[in-house]
Structure 1
Amino acid sequence: MTTTDLYRTVRLVRRFEERAIEYVRSGEIVGGIHPYLGQEGIAAGVCAALKDTDVITSTHRGHGHVLARGANPARLFAELMGRESGLNKGRGGSMHAADFSLGILGANAIVGAAASIATGAAWGYRRRGRDTVAATFFGDGAMNEGMLLEAFNLAALWRVPVIFVCENNGYATTMPVDSAVAGSITGRAAAFGIPAYTVDGQDPELVLTAAETAVDRARSGDGPTFLECTTYRFDAHHTFEHRARLSYRSTEEINAGRSRDPVEIQGARLSVQQRADVDSEVESLLDAAAGIALGSAHPDPAAALEYLYASPGVLR
């Protein structure tokens, strides 16, 4: 992964999310989204460390992970808009995007749940003789969820090749992390014997370096690693806040958090012309992607139950 490639990813995620917010405002995306603005360096760095045969699981704030893993922006836009051409035919929406062909086992609206899915998937692949590594993303709010701690236990006990990536943006919705987590975040994983490190999540290259070490360790059979990636959420927890105007963060805090922007940090490593070229490329890609999504059909209401169940038949 080159410096330019990392910049392209963080820029793509940033501009995708900014456009998605505009589609929420215009009504093309119904129900709102959880913006990933400010956290792009984590998705870019971790996914860059993975092989094509590896897998990820994501969260309710998952667009960045899905795009960094290689999902088609047109199909992701279409999914958010509830269109038939979406990643999941418009049935999954913002919080459940998946593409098994790319190893994206799904975003998950249940806090902490995706870690247990990733742990199980990695264990299953290893049992079949594959060297697949799973990376699972979750926020600081998941650190108090039993499902996550159970995943830690099994991953450590069975040396499962999984990377636990905590995106610590300082808040679980509106609850400050210091008011919710006893001890330290890395200490939770370390208690299970899992090597745990704190990484500057605003620097994509630092995240990539840490993720490469963790992936190599997992692939060699040495088990899981925990990465606490410190970051800051630039926008709302959910776009509903744009109307509700909650006041749990001061303007001064937000401005301080925005002062370390992963797009600017990575962009500064390119020449002015290189950066301009990538920016233009991304805008053209997203222009085309949005056009495809907006031109796609909505699902037929008569087919509302299709693709939702493992076996066809009448719901009883």
Structure 2
Amino acid sequence: MNLTLRTLSAIAGLSLISLAACDTGSGQRTGIWAAGSSTVFPFATRVAENFARNNPGNASPRVESLGTGGGIQAFCQGVGPTTPDIANASRPMKKSEFELCQKNGVTEIVELKIGYDGIVVATARNGNSFNFELNDLYEGLAQTVPDANGQFVTNPKRTWRDVNLGLPEQRIQVYGPPPTSGTRDAFLELGMAAGGKLVPATNAFAGDSKRFESLTHTIREDGAWVDSGENDNAIVQTLTRTPGSLGVFGFSFLEQNLDTVKAETIDGVMPSVDTIADGSYPLARSLYIYVKKAHVGVIPGLQLYVAELMSDASAGRGGYMQDRGLVPLPAPELAEQRAIAMALTPMSAPAK
């Protein structure tokens, strides 16, 4: 790691430019600023703590939990000290977000996959047990669902047994992340849309992307789903205070709260480090950071912070981010991502 840091210091030194070139007119900033996903937040915070301890000459990094959408929105506002250096994300950057960045002069963005996470559907430890089929999530939580004749109606289901006779006769009440959250976006894609494809009347619209998305990405607004802010720990606490409720949040928060909550299976698969890493758990996803290349060599220590985050000690198997619930990348894939970080290779435009 020491050799890596010396190499990065040399690279940063060669590319050093005055901070004023990055100034938008509202003052300068010397500390690293990362903003975005609540799921990535505990990992980024841990890296920031290590960075501050090992680099006492640098200002302590600032890490904010704004949700993936909020973090990327702030990141893409432009280049300069009033915008974040890093966007933390629990889903890939969207084409529309990339285009916003480009429009505002953020033309070189380095995308780094830092590991995996799973989205869990959880209950209080003393609650009923569920074995959800993937389509149960869509049929229970979508605002509009097909009736027995294949006609789409406002979701009439009140209990999980109304959805699937194999589920408990328990009211549908799910606490989950808001629309700005990458966890919400990933749940819609991996849970709702994937579940909708298993329902013939809904899958009939799979060729019409706008119609299919409107059916599968629109969650009920009748109290069956409750937006609970960007703090996943708040959802965990709600489950213990609200008997019969379920929660949707990241696997890392499950691991930290196994004394009070439990995960439910999806298609018979329990979320775990192994099932998330091998993709057998249906709601597994990748986690990312996006680095503003124009700020490297301008904001002191930025590339060193990225090197710390991508190091074996941090992101590798047995690293300290795994201790906080991150599922590490396989060693070859981590090496590939580290090479991108070293070279600061800009990403291409997303397909969608």
**TM-score, length of structure 1 as denominator length:** 0.32
Q: Which has the higher contact order (CA 8 A, sep 6+)?
A: 2
Greater fraction strand: 2
**TM-score, length of structure 2 as denominator length:** 0.30
Q: Return the index of the structure with the highest Cα Rg.
A: 2
